[in-house]
């Protein structure tokens, strides 16, 4: 693999707003606060009807607009972003009140000139983490998992596992080294794309490096945490994580086009993903085996499924109030676009007000899905370029709603 692919293939970044950086050893302050979430509310195009759009502060602005008129503006914004970023393509879904829109721009397969469709499947990288955290909180509600006991109760062989709590795994305050920051790991993964990685092997990569800090003494985003989380889920439930995900989230929530690659049967429709090498697109869809991402980032999904998932989580349909309160207890409070990380969930300031969700990046793809709790708006964007700015497009589409 080229040096460019080795540099850009990492799915370590949950998004630009995670200011601790991709696996950065710089600890953030650990002021935690609980926050209650508000209530939230497709098809191709926007459904008919009028809706009060969000004002600049994210609350309803009281202006009634025609959903069909907004549809053209959202599509124009998506087209412009694809052109400006020189993306192979992008798909998006927007939901606000009575309006719901799905759009696509660009190519699902740049070589074969196959256009994208709004319901195409993409790798979504670290958005996987919200699904894993949701499963953990479901098990907590049943008394099968405790957030505040040592990881070693569930999984042996984790360095410092007696001192690191499950909560610290889920909110990235464990201090455990991020295996995706290892050049040796990427050299091995990209030189043998068909190599299947076990969670234990990925943990061993992390264990070969010193921790970023003592447990609970900082914040450092680490994919290793969620590889460990997958093992915790299996130990606590007695079920393979793929089966647990299907039975607890995918089927009850009606997410028929979502699967954990490598752990569940694939759903047809995955588009091609790309990197850039010397200014040219390079197909990186299969740059590494999905087991190299595992429960930290191997999920495949669609805009509709992700929008539905975050609404159901934040509206309390998948989690009880106590568990949702745990998920929305924030650490890593600092200035900038991101204002906290909970349990597998990010909080950021958005054009539409405070928004909860997650970003993802993995070889060939970037993703961003957020639900603005004040305005009730949801915006999801999936991009088939690993250096694409999906979060920026979320803001572009949010601007359309605000400016109406």
The DSSP-derived string for 202-261 is HHHHHHTS--SSSTTS-----HHHHHHHHHHHHHHHSS-HHHHHIIIIIHHHT-TT-EEB
Each residue's pLDDT tens digit, 154-165: 999 999 999 999
The parent domain of residue 237 ranges over 3-403
pTM: 0.87
Each residue's pLDDT tens digit, 250-308: 999 999 999 999 999 999 999 999 999 999 999 999 999 999 999 999 999 999 999 99
Q: What is the mean pLDDT of the chain?
A: 86
pLDDT for the residue 97:
81
Give the Cα separation of 357 and 354 in Å (integer): 10
Give the Cα separation of 12 and 112 in Å (integer): 30
How, if at all, do strands 114-115 and 99-109 pair? Answer: antiparallel
pLDDT for the residue 286:
95
Q: Is the pLDDT of residue 8 over 50?
A: no
Percent of the chain with pLDDT strictly greater than 90: 77
Residue listed under structure tokens 């390079």: 282
| CA contacts within 13 A on the Cβ side of 83 | 6
Tokens representing residue 231 in the block:
């093992």
pLDDT for the residue 67:
82
Number of domains in the chain: 1
The CATH number of residue 256's host domain is: 3.40.710.10
CA distances from 26 to 19, 119, 158, 211, 321 (A): 10, 39, 22, 11, 33
What is residue 71's DSSP assignment? H
Give the Cα separation of 212 and 210 in Å (integer): 7
Each residue's pLDDT tens digit, 37-81: 543 333 344 443 333 333 333 334 444 557 888 999 999 999 999
């Amino acid at each position: 693999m080229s040096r460019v692919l080795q540099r850009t293939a990492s799915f370590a970044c949950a998004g630009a707003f995670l200011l601790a950086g991709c696996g950065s050893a710089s600890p953030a302050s650990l002021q935690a606060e609980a926050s209650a979430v508000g209530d939230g509310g497709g098809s191709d195009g926007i459904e008919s009807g009028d809706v009060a759009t969000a004002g600049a502060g994210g609350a309803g602005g009281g202006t009634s607009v025609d959903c069909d008129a907004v549809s053209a503006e959202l599509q124009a914004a998506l087209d412009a972003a694809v052109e400006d970023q020189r993306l192979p393509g992008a798909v998006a879904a927007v939901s606000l009140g009575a309006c719901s829109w799905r759009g696509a721009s660009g190519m699902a397969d740049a070589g074969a000139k196959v256009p994208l469709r709004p319901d195409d499947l993409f790798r979504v990288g670290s958005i996987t983490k919200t699904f894993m955290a949701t499963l953990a909180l479901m098990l907590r509600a049943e008394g099968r998992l405790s957030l505040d006991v040592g990881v070693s109760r569930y999984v042996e062989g984790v360095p410092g596992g007696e001192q690191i709590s499950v909560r610290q795994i889920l909110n990235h305050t464990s201090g455990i080294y991020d295996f995706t920051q290892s050049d040796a790991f990427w050299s091995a993964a990209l030189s043998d794309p068909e190599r299947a990685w076990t969670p234990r092997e990925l943990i061993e990569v992390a264990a070969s490096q010193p921790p970023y800090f003592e447990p609970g003494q900082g914040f450092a985003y680490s994919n290793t945490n969620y590889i460990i989380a997958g093992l915790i889920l299996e130990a606590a439930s007695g079920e393979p994580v793929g089966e647990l995900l299907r039975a607890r989230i995918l089927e009850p929530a009606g997410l028929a086009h979502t699967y954990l690659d490598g752990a569940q049967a694939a759903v047809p429709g995955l588009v091609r993903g790309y990197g850039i090498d010397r200014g040219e697109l390079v197909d990186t869809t299969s740059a590494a085996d999905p087991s190299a991402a595992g429960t930290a980032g191997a999920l495949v999904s669609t805009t509709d499924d992700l929008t539905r998932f975050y609404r159901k989580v934040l509206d309390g349909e998948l989690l009880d109030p106590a568990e949702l309160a745990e998920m929305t207890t924030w650490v890593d409070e600092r200035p900038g676009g991101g204002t906290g990380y909970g349990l597998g969930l990010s909080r950021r300031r958005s054009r539409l007000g405070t928004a909860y969700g997650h970003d993802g990046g993995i070889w060939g793809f970037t993703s961003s899905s957020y639900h603005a709790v004040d305005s009730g708006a949801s915006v999801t964007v999936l991009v088939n370029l690993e250096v694409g700015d999906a979060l920026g497009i979320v803001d572009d589409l949010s601007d359309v709603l605000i400016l109406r």
